[in-house]
A and B are shown apart, each in its own frame.
Chain A
Amino acid sequence: MRKILLLIVLMCCSASILWAQTRQVSGKVNNESGAPLVGASITVKGSTKGVVTDAQGKFTIAVPTKGNTVLVVSSVGFTNQELSVNNQNNLSVKLASESKALDDVVVVGYGSVKKKDLTGAVGSVKAAEIVRGNPANATQALQGQVPGVVITKLSNKPGALWSIAIRGENTITPDPNANGAKNLTLTSSGQQFMGTEPLVVIDGIVGGKLQDINPADIETIDILKDASSTAIYGSRGANGVVIISSKRGATGKPRVTLDSYYGLKTPAHLPEMQNAQQWYKTAIEDASLNLGYAVTPISVFNVNELAIINAGKSTDVQRSLTQTGVNTGNTLAISGGNGGTSYRVSGGYIQEVGMTPNTNYKKYNMNAALVSQIAKFLKVGLTLYENYSTNPTGSLEVPRTVYRTRPTATLYYADLVDPAAGGDLAIGPVNGYAVKMGNNSSMNPLLEASSLANYTWTRNVSSQMGNGYIEATFLKNFTFKTSLSGSYQLAKQDEYRGKYSKSINLGAPRASVENDYNMSYTIDNQLSYNLQKGKSKLNITALQSAFKTNTEFNLVAVTGLPYNSFWYNLQSQTGTPTIASGFTQRQLSSYMGRLNYTFNDKYLFTFTGRSDGSSVLAADHKYAFFPSGAFAWKLGDEKFIKKIAAISDLKLRVSYGQVGNSVVSPYSTAATLLTTNYDFQQTGVAGLAPNNLPNQDLGWERSQELNLGLNLGLFNNRVSLTMEVYNRSTKDLIMKEALPTTNGFSSVTANVGKVSNKGIEILLNTVNVATKNLTWTTSINFAKNINKVEELPNGAMYGWSGSTNPENILAVGYPLKSFLYYKSAGIWQLADSVLAKSYGAVPGSVRIVDQNNDGKISSGVLGQDDRVILGTQLPNFTMGMTNRVSFRNFDFSVMMYYRNGTMYKNDFLSNYVQDYNGGWGRLNVNYWTRNNPSNEMWGMGVAKSNSDAIYYEDASFLRINDVTMGYNMPKAKLEKLGIDRLRFYFQLVNPARFTKFRGNDPEYNGGGYQDDFEAINYTFGVNVGF
């Protein structure tokens, strides 16, 4: 070892000596049309010494006085050029532009390749696309951009998270803690991410969180989709890998950029609720007609409500409650560098103000990155992220209580006709509000949401992430890199529910505090060897990696607080506190080897082998080996293709890979203890029962995937097409195998079941118009994934415990997240009343399809009863399309997203299609009556056996995600001001959407709890660069 060190030291010294005597040469770099190229880099070949061109394209560089020096001139978007200095002192270089798209560098994990040299299925999104819609969360930016990556909104609440699923769902275990560091990624609405979230790598920080990075800091997002591409990340990449590369500093003078936007949002595309008169007609006239006897107004409405109805008024709580929301963000970045060091520092602030009162999301980001070539053989790099977000929310009940409030409600006490009638008299006015709204409703939403002092929920997250590495080049062609990345996150969630909140309902207040901690680190040691000989290129990488994460939580919830002290005085409680804490930890240890071989720059091979060890699996099953391989043939470079003028690029790819997944909670292999206490005559005793069946055979879940890829460029790449076809099957699924409960347990975690995903992904980019002043480009992507449960343990189907819908089941031959329920055939009409009666229904009832024609509607065994698989929550296909037009200094773009085939049991229908005497607001849909043979919704007062069958709806939708108009100040004017770039833009986000899904936002299925209203954003933005 000492010898090697000595050698390294010697190499350093000799390098220094070489540079002893130099002279200056200068020159100018132009593009093909003769315009100066700013920021082109000039390096002395064989050294790291380099300079960049100034604003006039000029440079000066020191070269050795002795020998013939070769300079390498390069600039992004242009082909590198080498030139010999000889004895010249003034050089002139013209760089030819290259077909840019193909030379983009794609990060593929522990390395990067040019796009044209890719062998696997990788999608990329660039900075401009990431910030185009000014998302608060980078995940959102991916929607509709990369085929095969399905991004779904989980809520309209400010700060809400988005879910990601890459190429369908490969695993079943719906365990939010299964992927270690993910337990903190619960959404504010309590919806949980499934075990299908991809691995996120942020600047080498393995296991980062997308919501913690400022979208404006991102340079590119690369998404590894096929198994051969993700193989390098092993089990952690089993659901795909999202690699974030943040913006970096470039050598040269400091550059300052400022990106700011400010937007207002107003409620839009909202469900249409009945007004007081419609409510009255439905409840009294329609119901009387259907029931055959008169429904008296006094049996449905009290005096306060009748007063409103008779006055022709109607209460629109939503209008009274909502406010204009705000979306704003500012990011300031400074980057630069000199010598071998570059840096970038940025600070950002993003804020979303909700449309429901007292709802706010603020995120503060700081990011610093430093890369330094500290010696010829040694490079170090450091990236740090510091984030803090706060998400105070007034009442989680809004907008649910808004929809629940009948339009006959009286909001202010002074307006009550009879305060006694609805129970308001006994309470009296509170800040002028009528607490029971004159009709003995639950709490007045205006009051509930009016003040944080009444109901506050808040979540503060502070998160640190960092990565540091040292890279050493030694011997010949060897590189060793060791990197350490870590993250620490604290999420603090507090809640206070006051006297006038719905859940407390005039009782004593309640408060809770919850702290979640997550720590994780990854250590990677990477050894690479590069060799180029003749037409062969060889790269070998060996990697050793260790990962550890632990999570901890503690929670205290108390009841019976005597007065409002938020969560700062829990000891004043008088009820029974709930106290809980917990800890889990998991580790992974991996060894990997990768070999890339290229022959003649046309035939590319990649082989990867990885051995993964996971702490959560049984002792003898912790390690498994996963091989993968890929081959790409650059057919376009073959002579016989080159002859075809239309084809400018053609590449065929095939890859096969296996990856493992240990998606299971820690400690699943042992029989742990369940605390189940008892008492003997008021004296508590500890009870600890066996908690689960141990499984000493629990091993890896294993996926294999075949991917066929095609890259085609036509007409000088005016049209470029990328197509992927894949077939992935996952076996030995780690899931809960249902057991007869005579075992004492209903399930055991085991390797059972098989699921497959087959699909096709198409990305088409076209340059429709390209003239001097006008360009128009279109990017369309399409992805279809067919998900199918292939095998289940012992039998064809069973209920999926992770589902929020009881009808959600797993069935062989059907996709995950399928619904098994009765099929609605619309509404029973008057002509069929005799037949309807035989089914226990009446005209106006939901008509259930009698699948087995036995004259009754029954549940029991699939195939033997009348329930069928109605559909799945997984989409049939998704499409995204972006059109960009630039005309002189103006730019214009439109992005659209279409999702087809998702089914939900519509929460909005099940909550807000109220019967005639229902206590809540009623959605204004086409209800059946004896005079209105609607087939769309049951009638008032009819029998409703299994009527929720009609709530299962197709949630396909087309959304105009954003429309942007921008203006770039002409360069000539800016130069006088010393500004590089100045762009103004105006943007509409979510201006329109089209769907048949009745009620709320079709993208997710919400009944209004912990949510906000859907909105259109009107945003003005500016980008400045100095």
Chain B
Amino acid sequence: MRIFKNIQKASIVFLLLSLFQIGCKKDFLDEYNPANRTTDNFYVDAAGLDALVNSCYPLLRDITQSRQLTLRGTDLFTANGWGGVFYGLPNQDDNGLEQYDIRLNSTWGDLSGYWDNLYKEINRCNTVLTRQNNFVGVSQAVLNSRIGEAKFLRALSYFWLVQQWGDVPMPLTESLAGTLTANKTLAKDVYTQIVTDLTACVATMPVTQTDNGRITQGAAKFLLAKVLLTRGWNFNNSLGGSPADFTAALKLCDEIIASNLYPLEAKWADLFPIHPKNVTAAQPAMAASVAVANVSKEVILAVQYANPAYYNGDGNLDPAKGLIGNNMHSQFYPGPSGIAQAGGATLWYTKLQGGGFNPTWAAYRMYDPQLDTRYDGTFNSVCYATIANTTTLSSVNNNILTTYPAPLVYAIGDTTAIVMPWNTPVTLAADRGKNQVGGTKKYSVNNLSEIVGYNPTAGVKDNMFWAAPMFWKFFQPGVSYNDGFSTYNDPIFRSAEVYLMAAEAIVKGGTGAVLGTADVYYNKVLDRALGTANAGKTPNRALNPEKGTEDPINVLGYRATPANISIDMILDESGREFLGESMRWYDLKRTQTIGTRAVKYNPWVGYGLNGVQQFNAAKHYLRPIPQSMIDVTLPKITQNPGY
């Protein structure tokens, strides 16, 4: 018996000895990864190709939302951080983006963010192009489109890079191992590559795509036209441009117009969601208006944002970790709703999340508030209570009562504050709110001129938060406060701009225009904005939009004639038409007008450092290479001049 028992016990030893094998198996150390695949075993067929090309799109969201680099420091948008001047300090607490001072240097974070995203995008496109022969079971037509999409997005990324930084490194193949080398390619060679890629796109891309939002031949033509127009200006004689570029750009614009694939919307407002007073009641109509605006034929290319939000992925993050969504509704100026101090007042229309892009006061005065439909479409002058509340008024006006009367009771939909257009200010005390001496209105009433604005000696009196109309062009109703994103697609190319590009090409000497002289192209855009009732009329902007003191006296008409058409006028018009849409800095850089327009219209650019204007055309038309690049390159990548 004992023998038997011991055999039993010994057999346990054998059992355990057999476990020994677990560690000895040859494949024991192979990695098991059921949750993910690798580039090499996934990018092999049609599904892999589609998923890879699709992944080149979401970064457009990150890149186009880098508005610091494309809106700030221009003539139309300015920062909200006015504390520095308020306290009489040499600098405001800002990053120098607008003051063009020493703080605008290589360590500035938004700079590297933009740079990094563009190169990340380029590497994704390069992955498509490097592996283009590896995908089996894909039709030639689909392959042509996918290769074209990759080439287009790469060209677009390089176009943004070369405008911001000039000479830049230009990798054209997928990164498979890290390299510390990043040698610069001359800007003119980058342009040559861009033109080559886009020319190929124009030749092979489909005219339409079943997926609305994919790159088409039309988008390639638009971009090529803009690239050629930019090269024609031949910044610093470094782009390899020539006058022939303007003619080529003009020809492409005329082709786009003649194709009739992208007709102008009859009503400018139809390009955007509608903006009702009572958001709750009008929800269905508003949601429908977003869907309509999203499929407008005028839009040649829009960065897509979807519902369900799961697809609103940040191009840098797994959607489980981060969503980006369209934030256009939340990045711009929230208006005077704070005056009503009701938590649910109009402020929440815009859900300001901190982008803090405030139009300069000059921007408001560029419009004719009565004739030009774009004024009311872009700005909301009247604030409404969106919840019932009991609160007091406050105002920017100096003439405030020292002791406030009883708090006011608001019902949903009641007006809480208004800002008068620059050319129709209130003058009578009785037209003011009850918070002011002699005021009778139950809401706060402010004149645009009460934004005291930039004053080199006295500083600003107060910040603009109180007294300028809210920017509500991209407002989308029904997005919840915490994690809602707008599903309005961001139109980055629309055919109205084709007309203005053509006008610019003609002014710069381009020949062969189909429609006529430059003013003809310009007035097409203007007349659509005036609407059928006012088409042909001459709207007025302020003569000196940077000065509130002349309201409403000195004005200037902005209808184009063969005699008055100029680059400045075209820039005014693109400002009105595309406020917040266009990446304004690129327009000013291309036309070299920061030194004239931004210095004049943007208080901070003019204020500079301690009141001394700092913008330097020899330096600031190129951005500094990010310090993070300089730190890790071998040999060190050279910094742009002046930084």
Contacts and interface: CB of A to CB of B under 8 A. Distances in A.
B40 A673 contact: no
Interface centre among A575, A581, A679 (most CB of B within 10 A): A679
A774 interface: no
Contacts of B7: 5, 9
Interface centre among A555, A590, A682 (most CB of B within 10 A): A682
Contacts of A375: 6, 9
Contact of A943 (B34, B87, B180): B87
A741 B13 contact: no
B31 A679 contact: no
B166 to A, nearest CB: 15
B3 A9 contact: yes
A565 interface: no
Contacts of A673: 36-39, 42
Contacts of B10: 5, 8-9
A742 B16 contact: no
A564 interface: no
A678 B58 contact: yes
Contacts of B30: 615
A497 to B, nearest CB: 11
B341 to A, nearest CB: 9
A741 B483 contact: no
Nearest to A577: B310
Interface in B14-68: 16-17, 19-20, 22-24, 28-40, 42, 48, 50-52, 54-59
Nearest to A1: B14
A738 B91 CA distance: 34
Contact of B23 (A8, A507, A589): A589
Nearest to B11: A5
B107 interface: yes
Contact of B29 (A559, A613, A737, A856): A613
Interface stretch (A50-58, A119-127, A320-328, A688-696): A688-696
Contacts of A580: 320-321
Contact of A544 (B20, B127, B171, B629): B20
Interface centre among B102, B178, B313, B387 (most CB of A within 10 A): B178
A794 interface: yes
Contacts of A842: 87, 89
Interface stretch (B115-123, B137-145, B496-504): B115-123
Do most interface residues of chain B lie in helix, strand or loop, or is the interface mixed? loop
B459 interface: no
A795 B631 contact: yes
Interface string B286-311: 00000100110000000011111111
A679 B58 CA distance: 9
Interface stretch (A339-347, A420-428, A638-646, A783-791): A420-428
Interface in B475-522: 480-483, 487, 489
How many chain B residues sit at the interface, stated as a range, is 35 or more
B315 A579 contact: no
Interface in A715-771: 737-748, 750
B307 A682 contact: yes
A389 to B, nearest CB: 27
Contact of B52 (A682, A688, A748, A856): A688
B19 A482 contact: yes
Given A5-B10, A670-B38, A693-B176, A675 B629 contact: no
Given A576-B310, A740-B180, A672 B6 contact: no
A744 B124 contact: yes
Interface in B114-158: 115-116, 119-120, 122-124, 126-127
Contact of A622 (B29, B312, B315, B631): B29
A684 interface: yes
B175 A744 contact: yes
Contact of A860 (B34, B106, B122, B318): B106
Contacts of B16: 470, 482, 484, 525
Interface string B455-488: 0000000000000000000000000111100010
Contacts of B106: 860
B559 interface: no
Given A426-B390, A482-B13, A694 B33 contact: no
B39 A671 contact: yes
A420 B30 CA distance: 67
A111 interface: no
A690 B178 contact: no
Given A523-B23, A842-B89, A616 B634 contact: no
B483 A559 contact: yes
Nearest to A859: B107
A426 B409 CA distance: 11
Contacts of B618: none
Contacts of A614: 29
Contacts of B105: 858, 860
Given A523-B22, A678-B304, A859-B107, A741 B628 contact: yes
A690 B39 contact: yes
B629 A740 contact: yes
Given A576-B310, A690-B39, A12 B6 contact: yes
B461 to A, nearest CB: 14
Contact of A686 (B22, B31, B51): B51
Contacts of A582: 35
Contacts of B54: 677-678, 685-688
Interface in B180-227: 180-182, 211-214
A9 B10 CA distance: 9
Nearest to B318: A675
B29 A579 contact: no
A744 B126 contact: yes
A965 interface: no
A560 B637 contact: no
A378 B119 CA distance: 66
Nearest to A738: B632
A380 to B, nearest CB: 8
B93 A740 contact: no
Nearest to B109: A806
B317 interface: yes
Contacts of A677: 54, 58, 310-311, 313, 319
Interface string B301-342: 000111111111111111111000000000000000000000
Given A614-B29, A676-B319, A688-B55, 4 more contacts: A470-B12, A583-B33, A590-B23, A666-B33
Interface of A: 5, 8-9, 12-13, 16, 374-375, 378, 420-421, 423, 425-426, 470, 472, 480, 482, 484, 507, 523, 525, 544-546, 555, 559-560, 575-576, 578-587, 589-590, 613-616, 622, 666-667, 670-690, 693-695, 737-748, 750, 794-795, 798, 837, 840, 842, 856, 858-861, 943, 945
Interface of B: 2-3, 6-7, 9-10, 12-13, 16-17, 19-20, 22-24, 28-40, 42, 48, 50-52, 54-59, 84, 87, 89-91, 93, 102, 105-107, 112, 115-116, 119-120, 122-124, 126-127, 169, 171, 174-182, 211-214, 291, 294-295, 304-321, 343, 387-391, 407, 480-483, 487, 489, 627-629, 631-634, 637
Closest 8 CB pairs of A and B: A744-B123, A546-B23, A679-B306, A689-B55, A680-B211, A687-B55, A681-B212, A580-B320
24 contacts: A12-B3, A507-B482, A560-B480, A576-B308, A576-B483, A580-B321, A583-B33, A585-B31, A590-B23, A616-B31, A666-B33, A673-B37, A676-B313, A681-B211, A682-B487, A684-B310, A686-B50, A686-B54, A687-B54, A694-B177, A742-B182, A743-B179, A744-B124, A744-B126
